[in-house]
């Protein structure tokens, strides 16, 4: 099913990407000006980013304690993903299940042809068929939009900035005439870039969640089913034991509903609030009904 482009949302994503690019260009210029040895940092982080792209699905599954499942083990889950993948014009992804009570799902993989969709046992026990299809379609929209690759690339120089902040005295040029001033300026610049890029990347992540909601709703043609799933999952999070939540918190950026604890978790959230997502899905449902 085709859907119309949300130009407001797309414009906001483009603005964030442009701001990130300008920030990173200035950052590299500052590091070069103050004598930081960029070659080793960029080379090392480039290799790390490549490994992250190529092995992101395996790393994500490992961190969640998830495993690939066959059609014989989960025939209904495979059937749903096969049909939804056809509707989304995508190759069927690898199907995985995580044995955790946290009701959630995520997509991983560097490309459309190399993707994995993982759901938790908690999700399978919590949602009805239509709600589950809504969540699966949301994850397929992430695959279609290449969100894993985009967010990995967007965070590349932010990670370099963090390393310079932490290990700046090792990377900075040893110009004794400056009394170490070049290293200090580079570290301060890296800290500013790291904080600003941290906030921009999270804004980009939230916008991409809205886009995945819209795409998932278009795949199923049922925005209300995804909205209902989001409300159900969000409501169940408070009932999941804290030990389970802490064990999965590092996967927040991947989840369909993130784990949010405390004020800081909400301020720096990788996802929009459930209320805003549901409101937009309800508006999309009204648009579809009037066509």
pLDDT at 253: 53
Catalytic annotation on 131? no
Q: Which pLDDT score, from 0 to 100, does residue 162 have?
A: 76
Distances (CA, A) of 130 to 62, 87, 219, 248, 278: 28, 15, 12, 25, 16
CA 97 vs CA 100, 113, 123, 211, 212: distances in Å: 9, 19, 10, 25, 21
pLDDT tens profile 37-90: 667 666 766 777 777 777 777 888 888 889 999 999 999 999 999 999 999 999
Given the residues 4, 131, 133, 139, select the one marked as catalytic.
139
Question: Residue 287 contacts by C-beta under 8 Å, 6 or more apart in sequence?
Answer: none
Q: Please report the pLDDT score of residue 136 as a whole number.
A: 98
pTM above 0.75, yes or no: yes
pLDDT score of 176: 47
Strands ordered across the beta sheet of 114-120? 66-68, 94-98, 114-120, 105-111
Per-residue pLDDT tens digits of the chain, which is 291 residues long? 455 666 777 788 888 888 888 887 787 777 677 666 667 666 766 777 777 777 777 888 888 889 999 999 999 999 999 999 999 999 999 999 999 988 999 998 888 999 999 999 999 999 999 999 999 999 999 999 988 888 877 887 777 777 767 665 555 444 444 455 666 777 787 888 888 888 888 888 899 999 999 999 999 999 999 999 999 998 876 655 555 444 454 455 556 666 555 444 555 677 888 999 999 999 999 888 877
CA dist 172 and 96 (Å) reads 44
Which pLDDT belongs to residue 221? 93
Look up residue 75 and give its DSSP letter.
H
Contact 137, 216 (CB under 8 A): yes
228 Cα distance to chain centroid: 21
By CB atoms closer than 10 A (0-12, 13-18, 19+), residue 39 is exposed
Bridge pairing between strands 114-120 and 94-98: parallel
Does the CA dihedral 256-260-266-268 come out positive or negative?
negative
DSSP code of residue 120: E
pLDDT at residue 224, rounded to an integer: 95
């Amino acid at each position: 099913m085709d859907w119309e482009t949300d130009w407001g949302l797309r414009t906001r994503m483009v603005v964030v990407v442009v701001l990130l690019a300008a920030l990173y260009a200035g950052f590299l210029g500052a590091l070069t000006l103050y004598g930081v040895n960029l070659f080793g940092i960029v080379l090392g982080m480039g290799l790390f980013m490549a490994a992250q792209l190529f092995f992101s699905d395996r790393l994500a599954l490992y961190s969640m304690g998830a495993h690939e499942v066959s059609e014989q083990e989960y025939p209904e889950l495979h059937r749903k993903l096969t049909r939804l993948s056809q509707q989304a014009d995508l190759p069927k992804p690898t199907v995985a299940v995580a044995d955790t009570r946290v009701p959630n799902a995520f997509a991983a993989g560097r490309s459309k042809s190399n993707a994995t969709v993982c759901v938790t046992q908690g999700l399978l026990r919590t949602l009805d068929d239509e709600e589950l299809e809504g969540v699966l379609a949301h994850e397929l929209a992430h695959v279609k939009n290449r969100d894993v690759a985009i967010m990995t690339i967007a965070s590349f120089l932010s990670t370099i900035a963090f390393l310079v902040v932490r290990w700046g005295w090792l990377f900075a040029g040893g110009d004794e005439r400056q009394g170490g001033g070049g290293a200090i300026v580079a570290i301060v610049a890296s800290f500013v870039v790291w904080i600003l890029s941290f906030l921009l990347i999270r804004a980009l992540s939230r916008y991409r969640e809205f886009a995945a909601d819209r795409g998932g709703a278009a795949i199923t043609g049922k925005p209300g089913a995804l909205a209902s799933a989001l409300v159900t999952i969000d409501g169940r999070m408070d009932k999941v034991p804290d030990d389970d939540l802490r064990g999965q918190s590092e996967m927040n950026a991947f989840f369909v509903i993130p784990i949010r604890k405390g004020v800081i978790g909400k301020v720096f959230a990788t996802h929009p609030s459930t209320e805003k997502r549901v409101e937009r899905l309800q508006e999309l449902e009204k648009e579809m009904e009037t066509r």
